[in-house]
A and B are shown apart, each in its own frame.
Chain A
Amino acid sequence: MSGPNGGPLLEVRQVSKRFVKPLDLAARLANLLGAGLREEVIHAVDGISLAVAAGEVLGLVGESGCGKSTLGRIVAHILPPTSGMVLYRGREITALSGAEARAAALAVQMIFQDPFASLNPRMRVRDIVGEAPLAHGLVPRHAIDGYVDDILRRVGMDPSYRRRYPHQFSGGQRQRLGIARALAVRPEFIVCDEPISALDVSIQAQVLNLFMELRRELNLTYLFISHDLGVVRHIADRVVVMYLGRVVEESPTEALFACPSHPYTQALLAAVPTLNQRRRRFQPVQGEIPSPLDPPSGCAFHPRCPHAMARCRAETPPLRVIAPGRHSACHLNDG
């Protein structure tokens, strides 16, 4: 199941995504008169490289606005990157054509956060799950009902719901439908973007268990995006921590939670409430994630970092190896 020569199944190299808000007519006219207005540019993802091995679960964590969903969408080929490459099984996706491009597109699927917004309310379950495999010729028309039934059973739903519409289901069941839709095209890699955060607590455990079961049975690889560190700790083999469009730390899960290296990871872990700390004194990190429109100079975390020094304001720390399999982007690592 791995890529050629045992390389990663999926890899992104130096991927960046910039969102540009073009100037409107009034601003362009003002510029003609010498106002000097500039377009607003957001670096949602800024030069990220990562690799996911076949069968692995890579957790992607960070606060809202850090670019983790944008990166997930680039990986799932929903958004084209502004620069950089996405490689699947060692081959650049944009360079593929015809049947190969289609196969690569089907192999990577995505499951979205909001099960109320990600399903077409006017389509029946049978069509939501069955449309893509039919259109791509994976299943002949006469066999589609049986195929859909199999997939529904696989995600723990009763096949007799085939003729129902999304609004007739609860949040947890809709999320199962979203999973069924992704599985219907027999993917190898699934980008899961906060797939359980919209669900009730008792349902979260059920859906998380489903993810683990499917991974085992179908040999799936996940990019698991979540802001819930407890969930990521449970399911991921490796974790990537993002802050303002960049990776600040990358590490095997156990090592990350045992001894986080980057000050941001440390702050994030310290902020998570746990069952065993009672009536604790919350000692919050100062400030908020800065606006990506106007990111701080140097290390983006320096305005909130308790260890910030002059160098952090001037120079962006590169992501470097601090231990086998562990990377961290902090000047403190230079000793």
Chain B
Amino acid sequence: MTQTPTLAVEELQTWFFTKLGIAKAVDGVSFAVERGRVLALVGESGCGKTVTGFSILGLVDPPGRIVGGRILFQGVDLVPLPAERMRALRGARMAMIFQDPMMTLNPVLSIETQMVEAVRAHARVSREAARRRACETLAMVGIPRPQERLRAYPHQFSGGMRQRVAIAIALLHRPDLIIADEPTTALDVTIQSQILSEAQRLCRELGTALIWITHDLSVVAGLADEVSVMYAGRIVEQGQVDEVLDRPRHPYTRGLLGSVPSRNVRGQPLAQIQGMAPSLLALPEGCPFRLRCTRADDRCLGMPDLVRDAGGRAVRCFHPHEGEAAP
């Protein structure tokens, strides 16, 4: 790596101090994304992938708090940054796209009002110039007749179009980093394919670094350059997309890949991971995947470290698979 990555997260810890105890939603997560690259953050609900995204943007609310680690955005640590400096970055240099576009959009304001406001929050431009920029950005994400659609309200758009508007708002300032949290999960496959194609174009043409949070490994395969698989607040496996998907080393990654229907014989029972993800408030001792794992033994009562090889491939397991092809 010769250039500074757009984002480097180092040993991030975001904990939630609840009445029932401390939930370590993110516990020692590290990864980096370079310009124009796509990193997929994969995991099931409650594994900490969304909280990781929120932590990067400084959006974690009490009882949650970043208790350790660094978030280097273009070399600057965001964790100690005062709120005003964060606000200046958020929406301008980095942006987030949520699963539900209504997290971004205000239902009672027209798209124009919202977009013009978003432009002028970070740039000293006239209302007219802001409107022009909004219009161009809507056209860029493939919204037909943007001039006309600017005057519409969120409820007048379909789900797919609404997500495009949310993406357009994220793009207004051509940010260097976009965090997309399951933005296509609620959409139909043809619309998903349109949005994925836009995302790829952005990375290619504008050099945006993209963090794509998802649980869908097929989307990861089609979109990402690198993958980090999370389980119970920690990264369990990390590497280039081909490496991880073709030669998964962690039993959890292998289990997820093995349960995809296309990797099974039609009509036969799917290979499945036993049990369900543990509650963050009652994690088992040692490796949190231990109770669902077929390879677990007494050694797994201790916590395995994330071991990284020379090629940047990392796995957190005492009994990783060695070079075997994916199930």
A→B interface (CB under 8 Å): 63-64, 170, 172, 200-206, 208-209, 212-213, 227, 229-231, 233-235, 253-254, 267-268, 270-285, 288-289
A contact residues around B3 at 8 Å (CB): none
CB atoms of B255 and A271 under 8 A apart: no
CB atoms of A277 and B222 under 8 A apart: yes
CB atoms of B190 and A267 under 8 A apart: yes
Q: Is B217 an interface residue (CB 8 A)?
A: yes
Question: What per-residue 1/0 map shows which CB atoms of B61-105 lie under 8 Å from chain A?
Answer: 000000000000000000000000000000000000000000000
CB atoms of A284 and B190 under 8 A apart: yes
User: Would you list 29 pairs from A and B whose C-beta atoms are within 8 A, ordered by A residue?
Assistant: A63-B189, A202-B273, A202-B277, A205-B272, A205-B273, A206-B273, A208-B270, A209-B269, A227-B188, A230-B261, A231-B261, A234-B264, A254-B266, A267-B190, A268-B189, A273-B192, A273-B221, A273-B223, A275-B221, A275-B245, A277-B221, A278-B242, A278-B245, A279-B223, A281-B197, A282-B194, A283-B197, A285-B193, A289-B188
CB atoms of B259 and A63 under 8 A apart: no
CB atoms of B190 and A268 under 8 A apart: yes
Q: Which of A212, A227, A278 contacts B222 (CB 8 A)?
A: A278
Q: Which of B158, B215, B217 contacts A200 (CB 8 A)?
A: B215
Q: Distance in Å from the Cβ of A29 to the closest Cβ of chain B?
A: 26
| CA A282 to CA B200, docked complex, whole Å | 8
The closest CB in chain A to the CB of B272 belongs to A205
The closest CB in chain B to the CB of A253 belongs to B266
Q: Is B271 an interface residue (CB 8 A)?
A: yes
Q: Which of A227, A272, A284, A288 contacts B161 (CB 8 A)?
A: A288
Q: Is B118 an interface residue (CB 8 A)?
A: no
Q: Is B262 an interface residue (CB 8 A)?
A: yes
Q: Is B10 an interface residue (CB 8 A)?
A: no
Q: Given A273-B216, A275-B217: A282 and B193 within 8 A (CB)?
A: yes
Q: Given A235-B267, A271-B189, A279-B223: A202 and B218 within 8 A (CB)?
A: no
A contact residues around B218 at 8 Å (CB): 230, 272-275
Question: What per-residue 1/0 map shows which CB atoms of B181-210 lie under 8 Å from chain A?
Answer: 000000011111110110010000000000
Q: Distance in Å from the Cβ of B72 to the closest Cβ of chain A?
A: 26
Q: Distance in Å from the Cβ of A172 to the closest Cβ of chain B?
A: 6
Q: Is B44 an interface residue (CB 8 A)?
A: yes
CB atoms of A275 and B188 under 8 A apart: no
| CA A172 to CA B277, docked complex, whole Å | 11
The closest CB in chain B to the CB of A207 belongs to B272
Query: Can you name 8 extra interface pairs (CB under 8 A) apart from A206-B273, A271-B192?
Result: A202-B44, A235-B267, A274-B222, A275-B217, A275-B218, A280-B222, A282-B197, A283-B197
CB atoms of A200 and B222 under 8 A apart: no
Q: Which of A213, A271, A276 contacts B190 (CB 8 A)?
A: A271
Q: Is B20 an interface residue (CB 8 A)?
A: no
CB atoms of A63 and B188 under 8 A apart: yes
The closest CB in chain B to the CB of A264 belongs to B190
Q: Which of B159, B197, B221, B256 contacts A201 (CB 8 A)?
A: B256
Q: Which of B193, B259, B262 contacts A202 (CB 8 A)?
A: B259
The closest CB in chain A to the CB of B160 belongs to A288
Q: Which of A64, A234, A254 contacts B270 (CB 8 A)?
A: A234
Q: Distance in Å from the Cβ of A253 to the closest Cβ of chain B?
A: 8
Most buried by B among A206, A267, A283: A206
B contact residues around A268 at 8 Å (CB): 189-190
Q: Is B45 an interface residue (CB 8 A)?
A: yes
